[in-house]
Structure formats: C-alpha cells, structure tokens
Amino acid sequence: MEDPRARSQLAMIAEVRGLGVEVWLRGGWAMDFWLGRITREHEDIDWFARSRDAGRLIGPLVARGYEVLRADGQQLDLVRDGEELSFALVDRDGAGRDVVAGGPWAGTRWPAGMLDAAEPGRLGALECPVVSPAAQIEIKLMTPIWIPGRARRPKDAADVALLEAALAARGTL
C-alpha cells in the first residue's frame, strides 16, 4: 500500500482492535473491510461501540496520545496526529435491539442485525468486525431523512452502489 494516510489509519484500526474492547467499523472503512479492498481515501475512522465500554476506550487511547474531542452518552470522538476516531455509542433496549445510547435520539433503534455480521471484514492480514452491509446501506440512505438538513453526500451514493453490486454478485441482494 502506497498511501501513507491509509497506512496510518489502518495502524489506528489495529491499535483499537488490540484494546480487547468489542467494536465494529462503520462507514467507509467498514465497507472497505467487507469488500476486502480500499476503495477511496477516508476522512476518519468511524466505529460503533457499546456505551458501557466507553471508559475502556478512553483511558487506553488517551494513554496512547489521543486527545478527547467529545465524550458524552451518544458519541466518543478522539484525535491523534490529525486523524479522528469517532465511536457512536450503542445500547440495547428491553427487547435486545441495538439503540442509540444517548443524546436527542436516545433509544432510537438502529437497523436490525446491524452488529450481527457472521464474519469479520478483512484487509490483508487485519481483521475487524464490521457493520452488516444491509445496515450500512440503510444508514447511508436514511441519514438525510433521519437528520433533516443533512444532504446525501456523493461518497455515500458511491458506497451504496459498491455495496449493492457486491451483494448482488454474492447473490445476497
């Protein structure tokens, strides 16, 4: 791999995985791990994590030189060397469904089966749990509806097309 930024971000993904905390990639890196190839440059590294594990992430990451940008019941954002890690925090409701952990949308359900991928994604030798492709598509399509005023981004449309094509090729769409 030639791209130093991608190399740096992949090292950060490996670093987070090495903490022993249950996390799932979401967004562009989740798609790339699921597809098994890097499709584009990424602005940041997006994750899902259980809200109960936020403290298990903050301490070790701060000790590794990350600065906390945001830490509340909904989101945990950290930065090091200009690269941002963003953890959307997830809880479970009384029926065992994944829901937004805090903030104005607390208790709102995430797509069904979102964190139930049967196998982790992989880039080279690096494995990482990822958001299910179907949930990834739903999130990318619904975000402008869930968050009025947020336009659908061209990269999201491109990601959806790649995921749908891969699902169709695997016969699972």
Query: How many Å apart are CA 56 and CA 7, to the nearest integer?
Result: 25
Residue 159, pLDDT score: 87
pLDDT average, residue stretch 100-121: 89
pLDDT average, residue stretch 34-61: 96
**Inter-residue contact 34 to 128 (CB < 8 Å):** no
- Out of 3.40.50.720, 3.30.460.40, 3.40.50.1970, 3.40.30.10, the CATH code matching 4-132 is 3.30.460.40
Single-letter amino acid code for the residue at 17: R
Mean pLDDT, the chain, as a whole number? 92
In this prediction, residue 41 has a pLDDT band, given cuts at 50, 70 and 90, of: very high
pLDDT average, residue stretch 11-31: 96
Selection from 49-58, 118-127, 161-170 with the highest mean pLDDT: 49-58
In this prediction, residue 1 has a pLDDT band, given cuts at 50, 70 and 90, of: low
Q: What predicted TM-score, i.e. pTM, was given to this entire model?
A: 0.91
pLDDT digits (tens, 9 = 90+) for 136-162: 899 888 887 777 787 878 888 888 888
Query: How many Å apart are CA 160 and CA 168, to the nearest integer?
Result: 12
User: Residue ranges of the domains in the chain?
Assistant: 4-132
Residue 89, pLDDT score: 98
Is 13 a residue whose pLDDT tops 70? yes
Distances in Å between the Cα of 121 and the Cα atoms of 14, 30, 107 are 13, 7, 28
In this prediction, residue 4 has a pLDDT band, given cuts at 50, 70 and 90, of: very high
